[in-house]
Homo-oligomer: A and B are copies of this chain.
Amino acid sequence: MNEHTLPDALRYLIAARRAETTGLEALAHVCTLVTQAGELVHALQKERGYSNVYLAAEHASARETLLAYAADADVQARALRQGLERLDPAAQATADKARLLTRVAYVLYRLDELPALRRRVLARDLDIETSLAHYTRLINGLLGLVFDAADTALDPEVTRALVALFNLMQGKELAGQERACGVRGFAAGHFTAPQHAQLAQLIDGQDRCFEAFLAHAQPPQQAAWAALAACEAELRQLRGMAARTSPDARVDAALAQIWFDVQTARIDGMRAVEAELSAALPALCQARIARAHDDLDNHRRLARQLAEPAAASAVLFTVQGNALDAGAPDLAGPMLSPQLSRSLLDLVQAQAQRLQALSDALAGARSSLDARKHIEQAKQLLMAHHTLSEAAAHDKLRKAAMSRGLKLEEFARQVLAAGAGGQA
């Protein structure tokens, strides 16, 4: 019995399940890309850090070390590019991929700039700030790729894992920026007012990231995180010392090394949790794909039963109809026995119900990404309206939310609603 002789309802039911399965297989590949992006981010974070060292002081071996870091990053970049080719830009992609493909275009544009950036760093033709800004922009592009992967995945369980992973990666990047900012402040003996504001913003950003990470992670990663967080007493002490410094209240410059070591240990710990989370992604995708294939087999079994009317009495499906159909008993279709007809209806209704539940769960898993988008948009609005720096806009937003007893994202939504109203 080929599919064209099946009842129409069953053909479309099988098509729907196959569409889901195809989507899950594509998602499994996107998860691979996310892992590769994470590796590249980690390599670039090291290269960025060492570029600062190289630009700050003339070491004999510094050039070779920097080239070695760059070579490591290139290995990861090549792996990512190869993975991206499998997204197959020449093939007919589907509309839901437009955002991810555009983000890929941005990342590749920034990756193509990397050789020129490195030439200028090696020639010491850049100051530290500019070098930092360029590396950070590329890293942010890669983190954006992970964000878009999380925000466009169509499976709630995989979305949860990607949301956890994105927040961990983003928090780790902010921790790296905090490390760099702290090294400069401690080395100078005190922090300037803009540095105080930047530190506060970076700490606040990390708190939000790790809170979202914990809310979406599985118990093993939550446990790994709890072990890390238990070692943060020293970090809190150092942060407190940094906050109390001023031109009139200086500290020993040797604290810079202690700060660097504490933050590095912490970031390495985060990297270990990140690797664990990434490693769990393929199994998660495969489990979802296997379940989808089982369902497809279930549909095909019904198709075979329909081909052998004599065997009809052996069919027994356990899926239940839902409440949508209350109110009228069923009429047998023109070509099916009542029992087979009921089985088909049960399958259709179970699938409709399952897709609705998936869609609700997906909305839930994505809600923290929405919160993040709203905060970013509100910040952009404040920056544009009051010509503020990003740190100043963040500070303004945070203080205004606190004074109103609102969560940051709640207040951000109010700012956006008011802003949209003002423009309308």
Contact = CB atoms under 8 A, between A and B. Distances in A.
Contacts of A383: 323
A23 B109 contact: no
A352 interface: yes
Interface in A120-153: 120, 130, 133-134, 136-137
A78 interface: no
Contact of A355 (B22, B98, B351): B98
Contacts of A3: 89-90
B133 A327 contact: yes
Instruction: Give the interface centre of A96, A130, A335 by most chain B CB atoms within 10 Å.
Output: A96
28 contacts: A3-B90, A8-B81, A9-B106, A12-B105, A13-B101, A16-B97, A16-B98, A17-B98, A19-B94, A20-B95, A22-B94, A26-B95, A95-B154, A99-B352, A99-B359, A102-B355, A106-B349, A109-B348, A112-B333, A113-B331, A115-B334, A116-B331, A116-B332, A116-B333, A133-B327, A134-B328, A137-B327, A137-B328
A4 B88 CA distance: 11
Contacts of A136: 328
A383 B380 CA distance: 46
A424 B116 CA distance: 55
B102 A12 contact: yes
List the number of copies, as a whole number. Answer: 2
B345 A109 contact: yes
Interface in A285-317: none
Interface size class of A (residues with CB under 8 A): 35 or more
A11 interface: yes
Given A11-B90, A23-B98, 20 more contacts: A7-B112, A8-B108, A8-B112, A12-B108, A16-B93, A16-B98, A16-B101, A16-B102, A19-B92, A19-B96, A19-B101, A23-B94, A99-B359, A105-B348, A106-B352, A112-B335, A113-B331, A116-B332, A134-B328, A137-B327
A117 interface: yes
A124 to B, nearest CB: 16
Contacts of A332: 113, 116
Contacts of A352: 99, 102-103, 106
Contacts of A133: 327-328
Contacts of A22: 92-95
A19 B344 contact: no
A278 B95 CA distance: 23
A325 interface: yes
Given A19-B93, A96-B154, A325 B137 contact: yes
Contacts of A9: 105-106, 108-109, 112
Contact of A106 (B26, B109, B348): B348
A410 to B, nearest CB: 16
Interface in A17-43: 17-20, 22-24, 26-27
A98 B137 contact: no
A384 B105 contact: no
Instruction: Give the interface centre of A17, A18, A335 by most chain B CB atoms within 10 Å.
Output: A18
Instruction: Give the interface centre of A17, A81, A97, A117 by most chain B CB atoms within 10 Å.
Output: A97
A58 interface: no
Contacts of A380: 323
Interface string A373-392: 00000001001100000000
A329 B133 CA distance: 9
Interface in A396-412: none
Contacts of A359: 99
A330 B89 contact: no
A333 B116 CA distance: 7
A22 B96 CA distance: 10
A95 B27 CA distance: 10
A345 B330 CA distance: 59
Across the A-B interface, the 10 shortest Cβ-Cβ residue pairs: A23-B95, A15-B89, A16-B101, A133-B328, A19-B93, A12-B105, A9-B109, A94-B94, A112-B333, A8-B108
